[in-house]
């Protein structure tokens, strides 16, 4: 799990804390790996309390030290524990509680760091992260009377770091004139699309040449070499835009030349990252039916280790020689894309225990079907609604005193599932009422 380069704690007070956290992490990993039964809140909360207790001891041990400490093995193990607890909270449906914030906060920071390093990003990227940070702050605020001040302060500092990175990127985009925003979005899309073609199993030169045609159209929209508004005024921020255009030309040229073939020195890293990206891609398609949030821990850690193995930002081969531009950008694209998948999976996680997910997913599917029926003009007679009504009744009959039980347990997410059930009933009622009205008029 750890790299040999990570130092051990030097302070003798930290060693027993590390040993206890290692045992707790082992227990968390066992809980994550056990697929024989559903994970329950009562399985997670004692382990969370153990970690929280160790954090307080660590804070006490380090309080006297005003210098910035180098991260040692204890910090990495603590990070593992928080990541696992965060993902376990999501798995049991406690998405709106403070500990659940940690994994998403660390993923957001990784994304922001990579966006800054790449030097190109769109307003859509930043808008999504802005909303996510706001949502996480609201979650921490709700937990102010429930969770320890030490945990909340720790999480708030994580969010503050994310906010500082986000502000920096937003400032860069703010220099762009409104009239250039759409062109900028297109250029970012061209760079990403080129990288996507570059990592496919079958390289398509036609697709890359199509992207180059888009670049030609953008260049032709200039007047005397400048981007101008309707009155002929030169638009602000176009130097950055011109630089991005040149970057697009250069990257598409390199990709066409290499035809998706990576430098053999970096073949192993490329294959590992490609596998992670493809697995996360498949998971994003089947998420509602197959995702157990704790499964993301393995992907996060594999990506983190590859990312952290870079030297001064560069991928290096066995002899310490840096990668060429093609290999460097290709590997970084795969890392960024994988973190983006993890981010998307985390923000779309439903506040429902995995024990209730089968019922929740059935109701989600039923709701989508009923909305499609409604939008396509409704039903011609009440009999067409029988299959929907029967399915709803069968789900409703699973409840006891208005609650869904799984064995003797009442899993988290009852409110979400009951709200979905009520919405489906309302849709059936509206469709049936519309049929009755039509029959009465005729």
Q: What is the pLDDT of residue 3?
A: 43
| DSSP state for residue 178 in the 8-state scheme | G
224-232 mean pLDDT? 89
Give the end of a domain, one of 209, 231, 258.
Answer: 258
Predicted confidence (pLDDT) at residue 4 exceeds the cutoff of 60: no
Cα(256)–Cα(253) distance, rounded to whole angstroms?
Answer: 5
Predicted confidence (pLDDT) at residue 7 exceeds the cutoff of 80: no
Q: Which residue segment(s) compose the domain that 227 sits in?
A: 178-258
Give the end of a domain, one of 258, 284, 314.
Answer: 258
Q: Using alpha carbons, select from 292, 332, 340 the residue that is nearest to residue 315.
A: 332
Cα(306)–Cα(206) distance, rounded to whole angstroms?
Answer: 32
> For residue 265, is it within any domain?
no
> For residue 44, is it within any domain?
no
pLDDT digits 0-9 by tens, 180-213: 999 999 999 999 999 999 999 999 999 999 999 9
* Average pLDDT for the chain: 92
pLDDT digits 0-9 by tens, 349-391: 999 999 999 999 999 999 999 999 999 999 988 899 999 999 9
Residue 1's pLDDT band (boundaries 50, 70, 90)?
very low
Give the end of a domain, one of 258, 279, 305.
Answer: 258
Helices (H), 259-399: 267-285, 287-290, 296-308, 325-347, 357-375, 386-396
109-127 mean pLDDT? 94
> For residue 302, is it within any domain?
no
Predicted confidence (pLDDT) at residue 327 exceeds the cutoff of 90: yes
Number of structural domains in the chain: 2
Cα(358)–Cα(378) distance, rounded to whole angstroms?
Answer: 27
Cα(344)–Cα(128) distance, rounded to whole angstroms?
Answer: 10
> For residue 389, is it within any domain?
yes
> For residue 211, is it within any domain?
yes
pLDDT digits 0-9 by tens, 98-115: 999 999 999 999 999 999
Predicted confidence (pLDDT) at residue 67 exceeds the cutoff of 50: no
> How many C-beta atoms lie closer than 10 Å to residue 150's C-beta?
14
> For residue 376, is it within any domain?
yes
Predicted confidence (pLDDT) at residue 437 exceeds the cutoff of 90: no
Predicted confidence (pLDDT) at residue 12 exceeds the cutoff of 80: yes
> For residue 312, is it within any domain?
no
Here the tokens at position 342 are 């993890």
pLDDT digits 0-9 by tens, 263-315: 999 999 999 999 999 999 999 988 767 788 999 999 999 999 999 999 999 99
Buried b (16+ CB within 10 A) or exposed e, 235-252: bebbebbeebbeebeebb
> For residue 185, is it within any domain?
yes
CA angle 26, 28, 30 (to 5 degrees): 70
């Amino acid at each position: 799990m750890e790299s040999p380069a990570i130092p051990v704690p030097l302070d003798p007070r930290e060693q027993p804390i590390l040993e206890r956290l290692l045992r707790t992490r082992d227990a968390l990993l066992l809980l994550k790996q056990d697929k024989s039964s559903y994970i329950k809140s009562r399985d997670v909360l004692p382990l969370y309390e153990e970690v929280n207790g160790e954090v307080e001891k660590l804070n006490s041990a380090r309080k006297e030290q005003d210098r910035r400490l180098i991260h040692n093995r204890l910090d990495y193990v603590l990070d593992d524990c928080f990541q696992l607890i965060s993902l376990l909270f999501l798995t049991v449906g406690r998405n709106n509680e403070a500990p659940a914030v940690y994994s998403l906060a660390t993923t957001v920071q990784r994304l922001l760091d990579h966006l800054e390093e790449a030097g190109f990003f769109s307003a859509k990227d930043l808008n999504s992260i802005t909303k996510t940070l706001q949502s996480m702050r609201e979650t921490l605020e709700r937990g102010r009377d429930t969770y320890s001040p030490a945990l909340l302060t720790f999480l708030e500092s994580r969010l503050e770091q994310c906010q500082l990175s986000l502000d920096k990127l937003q400032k860069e985009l703010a220099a762009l004139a409104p009239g250039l925003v759409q062109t900028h979005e297109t250029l970012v899309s061209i760079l990403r699309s080129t990288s996507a073609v570059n990592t496919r199993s079958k390289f398509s030169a036609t697709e890359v040449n199509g992207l180059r045609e888009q670049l030609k159209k953008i260049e032709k929209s200039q007047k005397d070499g400048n981007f101008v508004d309707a009155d002929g005024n030169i638009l602000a921020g176009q130097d950055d835009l011109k630089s991005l255009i040149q970057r697009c030309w250069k990257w598409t040229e390199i990709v066409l030349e290499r035809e998706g073939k990576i430098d053999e020195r970096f073949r192993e890293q490329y294959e590992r990252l490609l596998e992670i990206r493809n697995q996360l891609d498949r998971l994003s398609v089947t998420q509602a039916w197959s995702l157990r949030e704790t499964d993301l821990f393995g992907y996060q850690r594999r990506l983190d280790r590859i990312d952290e193995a870079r030297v001064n930002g560069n991928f290096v081969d066995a002899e310490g020689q840096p990668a060429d531009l093609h290999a460097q950008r290709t590997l970084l694209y795969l890392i960024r894309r994988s973190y983006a998948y993890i981010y998307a999976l985390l923000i779309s996680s439903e506040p429902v225990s995995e024990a209730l997910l089968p019922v929740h997913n059935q109701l989600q599917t039923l709701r989508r079907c009923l909305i499609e029926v409604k939008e396509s003009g409704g039903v011609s007679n009440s009999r067409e609604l029988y299959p929907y009504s029967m399915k709803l009744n069968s789900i409703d009959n699973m409840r006891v005193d208005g609650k869904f039980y799984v064995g003797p347990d009442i899993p988290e997410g009852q409110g979400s599932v009951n709200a979905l059930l009520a919405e489906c009933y309302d849709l059936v009622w509206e469709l049936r009422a519309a049929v009755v009205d039509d029959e009465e008029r005729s």
